[in-house]
Amino acid sequence: MYISCSAEQSILEISNDGESLIAGYWSHERGMCSQPILLQWKDGKVESLKSVNHLEACPQTSLQWDQYFLIPGWIDAHVHLALDSLDFYQCLEKWSQPALIEDNIKVYLRRYLEKGIVAIRDGGDLPGFSWRAKNKVEEGIWSGPQVISVHEAVGRAGMYGRFLGRGFQNLTEWQEEQSGFFNQGIDQLKVIVTGLIKFDDFNRVGPTQWTVEELKEIVETAHARQALVMAHASGEEGISMAITAGVDSIEHGYYMTSRDLELMKEKSIAWVPTVAPIGNILKYPTNRYSRHELDTLKRILDTHLARIYEAYCLNVRLGVGTDAGAYQVPHGDSFYDEIEWLVQAGIPRLEVFGRATHENAQILGQPELGKLEIGTPMNQLQLVKNFN
């Protein structure tokens, strides 16, 4: 049994039964408690959270957690375990060495736990590295956060996303192969609606891959199998198509419009805006991009942050996802970058925390996560020092 201690970037081994004084706690449901609490757990689950009266003698406990707050573990709603955040093309070449990729993934998984991240949603890879990682964590072979995996994405053959999935020539081929696709195992379905944004041309996005009617059928097929659908989509056309098709979440969503947000609010579609892939290029500068590209990225970033704040004000469902594995978006560490980007957008920090825990749990389809309550497993929680 363990608990993540992001305050020290470590994983603490604990007994199945125990108790400790803590400085307080926070969760979306309970709010903030900033007074000493006696935390007790039994069979690996929270049994009680008792206030300690300062006029009483504090109970002696073997664990010294009185400088920590207890909060739900973070959830990263969008990662790619098979990518290394350093060099996309070199990383793809290394996919021919599965043992090397798996060794890297084991390091990433441990890093997530050290950072207090207890669950991640992986956006897929063609060889199935993330799916195997999910299974090895579940079987107790590897240590790591809970992994929700799409296994591989559904995209159009020959268009963007060939590293994410096999690709289908048309809807007919998808219809013919969908049973085998689902039977290989998925937690959610990911559909690629558009290509990538262009760093050298504002408001330009790679082409859409499906018609609205095709996209609707793909979504309905997944929903019939009780699978949530995450849609890679940017640009006004692609985002509008994804909303019309009834996806459950829009990933990235660069160039989101006010009308898009209103429709997403109406349909309860979540948005995972992944700021880090553009913001971190500016935050951690290198000589990789031209001045024109950097100026374009700054313009994209500013408009993206403004739209995120608008989404917050409209009470659109917002998730926290990093796109970890993308360039300058390292696994684990970039989660804190993403939190800071959302705070910079204007969302109060504790509101961001609520989206990084409670809301992300809904987006993952795992509502038991992101909570602090009696009965919550200790390995779904984390210890932090402050909220600044």
- Over 80: is that where the pLDDT of 274 sits? yes
Give the span between the Cα atoms of 242 and 219, in whole angstroms: 9
Residue pair 255/222 in contact (Cβ under 8 Å)? The answer is no
Give the span between the Cα atoms of 170 and 283, in whole angstroms: 40
74-363 CATH choice from 3.40.630.10, 3.20.20.140, 3.40.50.300, 3.30.930.10 = 3.20.20.140
Task: Label residue 352 by pLDDT band (50, 70, 90).
Answer: very high
Determine the 3-state secondary structure of 140 from DSSP: coil
Q: Report pLDDT for 60.
A: 72
User: CATH assignment of 2-73+371-384?
Assistant: 2.30.40
Q: What is the DSSP string of 68-135?
A: EEEEEPEEEEEE-TT--SS-HHHHHHHTT-HHHHHHHHHHHHHHHHHTTEEEEEE---TT-HHHHHHH
By residue count, the chain amounts to: 388
Which DSSP letter does residue 197 get? B
> Where does 147-211 have alpha helices with state H?
171-183
The predicted-structure confidence for 128-155, as pLDDT tens digits, reads as follows 999 999 999 999 999 999 999 999 999 9
Q: Report pLDDT for 307.
A: 98
The residue-averaged pLDDT of 35-62 equals: 85
The residues spanned by each domain of the chain are 2-73+371-384, 74-363
- Over 70: is that where the pLDDT of 217 sits? yes
Please identify which residue in the block is written with the tokens 């007790």.
40
Task: Label residue 55 by pLDDT band (50, 70, 90).
Answer: very low
Token pair belonging to 36: 């000493």
Give the span between the Cα atoms of 255 and 16, in whole angstroms: 48
The predicted-structure confidence for 157-203, as pLDDT tens digits, reads as follows 999 999 999 999 999 999 999 999 999 999 999 999 999 999 999 99
- Over 70: is that where the pLDDT of 54 sits? no
Q: Report pLDDT for 62.
A: 75
As a whole-number percent, the residues of the chain with pLDDT over 90 amount to 96
